[in-house]
Structure 1
Amino acid sequence: MTILKNAVLKTYISNDVFYIHDYETVELISFEGLMIGITINNYYYYKINDFSSSADKLPQLNKDDVLRTHFYNVLFAAINEQFITVEQNLFNILRDIYVQDKQHTNDIDLTDYKHTLVKNVTLHINKHIKEKILYQQLATHFFVNNSFLSSVFPSIMHTTLSNYIVSAKVHCAFCDLLNDGLIDDVWQTYQFRTSTMFVQQFKNIKGHAPYPLPFDEHYKIFNKQELLMAVNYLLNIY
């Protein structure tokens, strides 16, 4: 598989593993075969920032081997419905991605001002997700023109800055609700104007109301049989 990642061609072969942040620009050039991916809510990725104090003390890791091991551990735990193990290995994946980024192995060229700006904006938004976030505040914080930020952000993220902020707040609110948070507390925590507006934005992003949360078969995060077949296929060819 060949992709254009942040204006740099990247080629991956069988058994390779890689990650893509939401602020990175990726275009598929060629692909032949089977690929399994995991989409992780930014809520959890930015939780790993709390790990930063000890992350710098970890030794240099072989990114491919470490990520591959934890990736397969997640898949097998999901197949066996061992969801505590899934969570543990997802944490390991996120931790290792964080460490790799801190060790300067991220693919983003730091000389690319626009990508760096968008990356820093997304980091700032998620760090201050429980606060009221305004365009002008972001522009002032990063010493850029308001209209420039409004133009650059969607060119890389493929969504407007306002939509990204709302989506990030909804995703975090959803995770709080899954952890037994109360809706009357959650909408205020994430600075929605009213509970009605929160419910409407939640529906727009998630496709369903925040109550009751859907846990029936229709909303399973994976098809167990299809996942098992895909993993067996990968193991047989490697």
Structure 2
Amino acid sequence: MSSSLFLSQRSLYEDDYSCILRNPQNEFNYGLHYHDFYECVLYLGNAGIFRIEDQEYLIKRGDIVLIDMFKPHTLTYNKNYFYERFSLSINLSLLISFSTSRSNLLDVFHNCSDRLPVYHLSQEQLQKYLTLLDKYRKIKLENGKDILEKALIHQLLAYIYSDCYRGRHIDEKEAQHAQTIAALLKYINTHLNEEITLEQLAAEVNYSEYYVSRLFRKISGKTLTNYIQEKRIEEASCLIRGGLPINQAAEQVGFNNYSYFYKTFKKIIGCNPADYQARY
């Protein structure tokens, strides 16, 4: 993952999900990146080449792309074509809460990059998504908009489960692992500006420090320490881009030693905080 950029849920959207319609005019131009949440993208036009890790896929209208947590990916879009894509970002805890005993959404999202992550819809299948997106576009409520959005997301995820499920249920052990990771991510998000120790994380999920470390590395490909560092630096970079002084940004994400923050920022971002601030 060394050549890809980490983007955290905490710094991209405030709630536990995000919905956005994109096209070449407001496209997401971060290049190869990965994040600590799931993403589902429905393409309403021939968009270009989608890369997930070392695999590339030609994306067409009617394609659904499922993106696993911590999997590097990017879209190289065709600038000669206009397209739209609807992107749903959703954190692990919310995905689990939307699941049922009969329809576990982890069946399609968990390790989706290890299977074929691109599903092509028939015209009949696509039409129900288009009808749902039309409802999404027309939301004009002064109050309760978020409630209606979540209802539409529920419906969208039901469609995705119906169209993308391929007959393999996640086993009980994998489901338990997902619950543990969700609890760890939630704790880290909530306490990011505080000192976070492995002992605290292990106590939060009632497992040994060794077990928690090994499980997190198995799922994410990185250590808990590295993840927390990346998450703090990524959020600090957002705060700096937003105009917050560097020392305040460092304190706000849990760094009390400025020289250590400076060194860690340069290692992860590739330049020091002052140069980064000047760039933006």
Scaled by the length of structure 2, what TM-score is found? 0.46
State the Cα distance separating 1:118 from its structure 2 match: 1.9
Looking at structure 2, the residues matched to 93 and 41 of structure 1 have their Cα atoms a distance apart, in angstroms, of: 16
Which residue of 103, 106, 112 maps to 2:98?
103
Which residue of 44, 47, 50 maps to 2:11?
44
Aligned to 2:264: 201
Q: Secondary structure at the match of 1:138?
A: helix
The answer on whether the counterparts of 1:41 and 1:171 sit within 8 Å (CA) in structure 2 is yes
Q: Secondary structure at the match of 1:76?
A: coil
Looking at structure 2, the residues matched to 48 and 41 of structure 1 have their Cα atoms a distance apart, in angstroms, of: 12
- The one-character-per-residue Cα deviations of 1:130-188 (angstroms, maximum 9, x if unpaired) are 12111000101110001111111111111111000111111111111111111111222
Looking at structure 2, the residues matched to 110 and 175 of structure 1 have their Cα atoms a distance apart, in angstroms, of: 38
Looking at structure 2, the residues matched to 211 and 39 of structure 1 have their Cα atoms a distance apart, in angstroms, of: 20
* Structure with bigger RCO (C-alpha 8 Å, 6+ apart): 1
State the Cα distance separating 1:39 from its structure 2 match: 7.6
- What are the equivalent positions in structure 2 for 1:135-154 lying under 5 Å apart? 135-154=198-217
Aligned to 2:231: 168
Gaps of 5+ in 2: 29-85, 100-104, 111-169
Kindly tell me: are residues 39 and 202 of structure 1, through their superposed partners in 2, closer, same or farther at Cα, counting changes over 3 Å? Answer: closer
The answer on whether the counterparts of 2:8 and 2:234 sit within 8 Å (CA) in structure 1 is yes
State the Cα distance separating 1:127 from its structure 2 match: 2.4
State the Cα distance separating 1:211 from its structure 2 match: 1.2
Gaps of 5+ in 1: 1-37, 56-66, 80-91, 220-238
- Give me the identity figure in percent: 20
Aligned to 1:77: 26
The answer on whether the counterparts of 1:135 and 1:146 sit within 8 Å (CA) in structure 2 is yes
Decide which structure has greater strand share.
2
Looking at structure 1, the residues matched to 254 and 8 of structure 2 have their Cα atoms a distance apart, in angstroms, of: 20
The answer on whether the counterparts of 1:130 and 1:189 sit within 8 Å (CA) in structure 2 is yes
Decide which structure has greater helix share.
1
The answer on whether the counterparts of 2:193 and 2:253 sit within 8 Å (CA) in structure 1 is yes
State the Cα distance separating 1:78 from its structure 2 match: 3.5
Q: Secondary structure at the match of 1:47?
A: coil
- The one-character-per-residue Cα deviations of 1:96-137 (angstroms, maximum 9, x if unpaired) are 636972533343448322233123212221222112111000
The answer on whether the counterparts of 1:118 and 1:153 sit within 8 Å (CA) in structure 2 is yes
The answer on whether the counterparts of 2:241 and 2:277 sit within 8 Å (CA) in structure 1 is no
Which AA in structure 2 matches 1:180?
G
1:211 and 2:274 are equivalent in the alignment: yes
State the Cα distance separating 1:47 from its structure 2 match: 1.8
Count of residue pairs the alignment pairs up: 150
Which AA in structure 2 matches 1:43?
R
State the Cα distance separating 1:40 from its structure 2 match: 4.6
Looking at structure 2, the residues matched to 142 and 100 of structure 1 have their Cα atoms a distance apart, in angstroms, of: 18
